[in-house]
């Protein structure tokens, strides 16, 4: 067994916990299973983390960050008409979910666990705050790409984006119908396009017109 500084060992254990929980569910992420996945002995976990809850909180933080990066990582930004931009963005978000079934299911397990166990109280709300913020950044991107603003409060739209993606993702996890999820999100994209309004002439846009 390699000797590692405690900080690196923590990261390794967090990744091991993420692997176990994504593969077999959050209940399977026992201290023993995580230690085995990481290839270390049982005591190491309690040497690096005060207790199991601290490990789970760290894991939750890791998956939240990973989801955020994934969401904002590979968004297409080709300037076209509003509808196409929105469709492309939603398609990219959906592709990220479809290709990570285990972590996505784990996210929902973390949400419900957080709502039941006070030790994980902050996990769910942080998860959603991150997603709502990411959705607002997506709205920024659409605004800049398609030169539009919105006929509804941005916060409300961001919340809707997260809600709709969550809803279709959950259904897809249950029945595996990717096509239905795609179609549903495309329909939502068309709706989003209807609440986009041409942006007023602003400083930069005015400059490009001069």
Partner DNA sequence: GGTTGTCCTGGTCGATTGTCCAAGTCAAGT
Partner DNA sequence: ACTTGACTTGGACAATCGACCAGGACAACC
Helix, strand, coil shares of the chain as percentages rounded to 5?
80, 5, 20
Residues with Cβ < 8 Å from 154, sequence gap 6 or more? Answer: 136, 139
Q: Which residue of 17, 18, 21, 33 would you call a contact of DNA, by CB under 7 A?
A: 33
Please tell me the distance from the alpha carbon of residue 164 to that of residue 13, in angstroms, as a whole number.
Answer: 33
User: DSSP letters of 88-110?
Assistant: HHHHHHHHHHHT-HHHHHHHHHH
Is the CB of 42 or the CB of 79 nearer to DNA? 42
Stretch that binds DNA, among 14-22, 35-43, 129-137, 148-156 (CB under 7 A): 35-43
Is the CB of 42 or the CB of 170 nearer to a copy of itself? 170
Q: In terms of residues, how long is the chain?
A: 210
As measured in angstroms, the least distance from the Cβ of 137 to a copy of itself is 18
CA angle 68, 71, 76 (to 5 degrees): 145
40-99 residues near DNA, rule: CB under 7 A: 40-48, 51-53
Is the CB of 92 or the CB of 128 nearer to a copy of itself? 128
Please tell me the distance from the alpha carbon of residue 62 to that of residue 198, in angstroms, as a whole number.
Answer: 38
Residues in contact with DNA by CB under 7 A are 1-6, 9, 30-33, 40-48, 51-53
Residues in contact with a copy of itself by CB under 8 A are 24-25, 27-28, 105, 108-109, 111-112, 114-117, 124-125, 127-128, 152, 156, 159-160, 162-168, 170-171, 173-175, 180, 183-184, 187-188, 191, 194
């Amino acid at each position: 067994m390699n000797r590692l500084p405690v900080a690196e060992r923590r990261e390794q254990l967090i990744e091991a916990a993420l692997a176990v929980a994504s593969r077999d569910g959050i209940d399977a992420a026992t201290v023993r299973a995580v230690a085995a996945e990481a290839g270390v002995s049982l005591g190491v976990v309690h040497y690096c983390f005060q207790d199991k809850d601290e490990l789970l909180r760290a894991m939750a933080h890791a998956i939240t960050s990973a989801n955020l990066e994934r969401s904002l990582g590979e968004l297409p930004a080709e300037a076209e008409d509003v509808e196409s931009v929105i469709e492309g963005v939603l398609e990219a978000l959906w592709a990220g979910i479809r290709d990570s079934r285990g972590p996505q299911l784990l996210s929902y397990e973390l949400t419900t666990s957080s709502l039941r166990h006070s030790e994980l109280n902050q996990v769910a709300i942080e998860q959603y705050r991150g997603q709502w913020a990411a959705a607002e950044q997506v709205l920024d991107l659409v605004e800049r790409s398609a030169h539009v603003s919105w006929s509804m409060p941005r916060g409300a739209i961001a919340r809707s984006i997260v809600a709709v993606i969550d809803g279709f993702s959950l259904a897809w996890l249950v029945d595996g119908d990717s096509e239905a999820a795609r179609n549903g999100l495309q329909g939502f994209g068309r709706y989003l396009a209807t609440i986009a309004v041409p942006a007023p002439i602003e400083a930069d846009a005015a400059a490009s017109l001069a």
